């Protein structure tokens, strides 16, 4: 079994996370984890390489059947194998969905703060972005239903993210029901990025928004992948679930010539992840949840002016540093004075320049190192 405490050198491996900064900076930004993939997945890739012809691939029936069975057992969601469309990533998936289903000038709702490629996607297709902010509460982020209703009234679609990046919010059944009802009322398409769906804490269960009703199933394009949970994002393999045949047809048309083929090793890895890596997943989740707890406790004890609502899922923490007065902004401050590289809050929407996003999907010693670097930066102020 993987030793999640072990630190693996990733510099020199072409890792985006570890190539961005000079070697004295500890990178805690882009959303991949510093853990080796499950041995079952590595073995599956190795086995595939025993056959040295690496031509274009197609998802095997076995993989479709596995996903169908998985969605049934996890969410009581009944889909057909043909409802699945494979993609080289969730980000290409939501962009293809926007290209297929909306036209320039249409409105699109996003809930801020949000993952930068979601925030920027409307701009790629000349859509008008309408932000519906999530509001920080005592122990969770809340949906501001008034802004969501107002934004939907001007829009053709909602680009939804659950579990949410960067807040780590996991939407409750009640919230999802209300969101689905609002989308039905406004006749809005729902593009639901559920890439973090297997990374939930405290015994929470993910609910795909498409499972809420027949109407929701008919108006939703759901995007999922094994990539975040099993730390295989570099294999660029994901899938859409589209139960409405006319939406699926438009989606497939718009994808042709751009993102129509999928990485063959990614398909093997995805099958192995869903077939034989469940023990690894459980161990990883326990480790990452403990890391989430450790980070929250340490922030509360050592940085009482930083506000942090505990992530309910993902391996990301959203730190509100507004009360600290860190110039010019907390990301630059911690990078320059502490040598730790977080994601800058401004990337996630307007009004978040005083936040940073911290990736805690790493061995505990790296997390401790990151916290110490923050402390040293503040001590030197
Ligand atoms: C919410 C969310 N969606 C999509 C992606 C990117 O997915 P992919 O690499 O499959 O395009 C990420 C990666 O950080 C993410 O956090």
Q: Are both 328 and 294 inside the same structural domain? A: yes
92 found inside a domain: yes
Q: What does the alpha-carbon distance between residue 79 and residue 49 come to, in Å, rounded to a whole number?
A: 31
Distance 356 CA to ligand 1 centre (A): 18
CA–centroid distance, 111 to ligand 1, in Å, is: 16
Are 65 and 212 contained in the same domain?
Answer: yes
Q: How many residues can be counted in the chain?
A: 381
- Does residue 6 sit in helix, strand or coil? coil
H-helix or E-strand spanning residue 356: strand 355-359
Averaged over 161-186, what is the pLDDT?
Answer: 98
List helix spans (H) across 1-142.
16-19, 39-49, 61-75, 90-101, 116-124
Q: 302 C-alpha to center of ligand 1: Å? A: 31
Residues 291-327: tens digit of each pLDDT: 999 999 999 999 999 999 999 999 999 999 999 999 9
Domain boundary, last residue among 276, 310, 338: 276
Residue 260 pLDDT = 82
Atom of ligand 1 nearest to the CA of 30: 14
Q: Are residues 265 and 284 in the same domain?
A: no
CATH number at residue 375: 3.90.1150.10
Query: Which pLDDT score is estimated for 311?
Result: 98
Give the global pTM.
0.98
Within a domain: 7: no
- Greater confidence, 307 or 261? 307
**Would you state the pLDDT for residue 256?**
86
Does 4 fall in a domain?
Answer: no
> Pocket around ligand 1: residues whose beta carbon is below 6 Å from it?
31, 89-91, 115, 161, 165, 193, 195, 225, 227, 233, 238
From the list 208, 206, 229, the residue with the least C-alpha distance to 278 is 229
Are 162 and 173 part of one and the same domain?
yes
Q: In this structure, are 242 and 346 located in the same domain? A: no
The answer to the question of residue 1 being in a domain is: no
Candidate from 91, 236, 258, 313 with most ligand 1 atoms within 8 A of CB, to mutate: 91
Q: What percent of the chain clears pLDDT 70, i.e. is strictly above it? A: 100
Q: What is the CA radius of gyration of the chain?
A: 20
Give the pLDDT of residue 306. Answer: 98
Top mutation candidate among 233, 347, 348 for ligand 1, by most atoms within 8 Å of CB: 233
When pLDDT is cut at 50, 70 and 90, the band that residue 1 belongs to is: confident
Mean pLDDT value across residues 175-201: 98
Q: Classify strands 128-131 and 107-110 as parallel, antiparallel or unpaired.
A: parallel
Residue 153 has pLDDT above 90, yes or no: yes
Q: Do 347 and 203 share a structural domain?
A: no
Percent pLDDT > 90 in the chain is 97
Mark whether 203 and 141 lie in a shared domain. Answer: yes
* CATH assignment at residue 119: 3.40.640.10
Q: Express each pLDDT in 69-120 by its tens digit.
A: 999 999 999 999 999 999 999 999 999 999 999 999 999 999 999 999 999 9
Mean local confidence (pLDDT), 268-294: 98
| Average pLDDT rounded to a whole number, residues 233-252 | 98
Query: CA-CA distance, 70 to 288, in Å (whole number)?
Result: 22
Confidence of residue 380 (pLDDT cuts 50, 70, 90): confident
**Atom in ligand 1 nearest the alpha carbon of residue 238:** 10
Which residues touch 323 (CB under 8 Å, ≥6 apart)?
305, 306, 307
**Residue 100 domain boundaries:** 53-276
| Mean local confidence (pLDDT), 156-161 | 98
Q: Residue 257: its pLDDT value, please?
A: 85
The per-residue DSSP string of 154-199 comes to T-SEEEEESS-TTT-----HHHHHHHHHHHHHHT-EEEEE-TTTT-
Counting Cα atoms < 13 Å in the Cβ hemisphere of 169 gives 27
Q: What is the 192 CA–ligand 1 centroid distance (Å)?
A: 12
SS3 content of the chain, % helix, strand, coil (to 5): 45, 15, 40
């Amino acid at each position: 079994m993987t030793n999640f405490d072990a630190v693996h050198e990733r510099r020199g491996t072409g890792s985006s996370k570890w190539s961005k900064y000079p070697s004295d900076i500890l990178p805690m930004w882009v959303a991949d984890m510093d853990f080796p993939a499950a041995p079952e997945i590595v073995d599956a890739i190795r086995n595939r390489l025993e056959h040295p012809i690496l031509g274009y691939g197609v998802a095997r029936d076995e993989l479709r059947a596995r996903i169908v069975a998985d969605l049934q057992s996890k969410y009581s969601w009944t889909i057909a194998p043909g409802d699945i469309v494979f993609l080289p990533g969730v980000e290409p998936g939501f962009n293809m969905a926007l290209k297929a289903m909306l036209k320039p000038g249409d409105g699109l709702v996003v809930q801020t703060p949000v993952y930068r490629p979601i925030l920027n996607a409307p701009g790629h297709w000349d859509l008008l972005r309408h932000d519906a902010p999530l509001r920080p509460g005592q122990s969770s982020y809340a949906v501001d239903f008034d802004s969501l209703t107002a934004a939907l009234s001007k829009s053709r679609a909602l680009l939804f993210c659950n579990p949410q990046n960067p807040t780590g919010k996991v939407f409750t059944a009640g919230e999802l029901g209300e969101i689905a009802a609002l989308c039905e009322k406004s006749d809005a398409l729902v593009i639901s990025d559920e890439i973090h769906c297997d990374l939930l804490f405290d015994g929470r269960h993910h609910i795909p928004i498409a499972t809420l009703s027949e109407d929701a199933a008919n108006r939703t394009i759901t995007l999922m992948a094994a990539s975040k949970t099993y730390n295989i994002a570099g294999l660029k393999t994901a899938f859409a679930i589209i139960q409405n045949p006319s939406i699926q047809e438009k989606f497939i048309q718009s994808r042709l010539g751009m993102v129509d083929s999928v990485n063959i090793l990614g398909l093997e890895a995805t099958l192995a992840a869903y077939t034989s890596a469940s023990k690894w997943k459980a161990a990883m989740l326990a480790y990452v949840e403990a890391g989430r707890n450790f980070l929250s406790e340490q922030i509360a004890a050592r940085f009482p002016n930083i506000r942090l609502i505990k992530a309910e899922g993902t391996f990301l923490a959203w730190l509100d540093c507004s009360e600290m007065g860190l110039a010019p902004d907390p990301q630059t401050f911690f990078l320059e004075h502490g040598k730790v590289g977080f994601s800058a809050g401004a990337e996630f929407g307007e009004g978040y320049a005083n936040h940073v996003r911290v990736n805690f999907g790493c061995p505990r010693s790296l997390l401790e190192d990151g916290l110490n670097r923050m402390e040293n930066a503040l001590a030197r102020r």
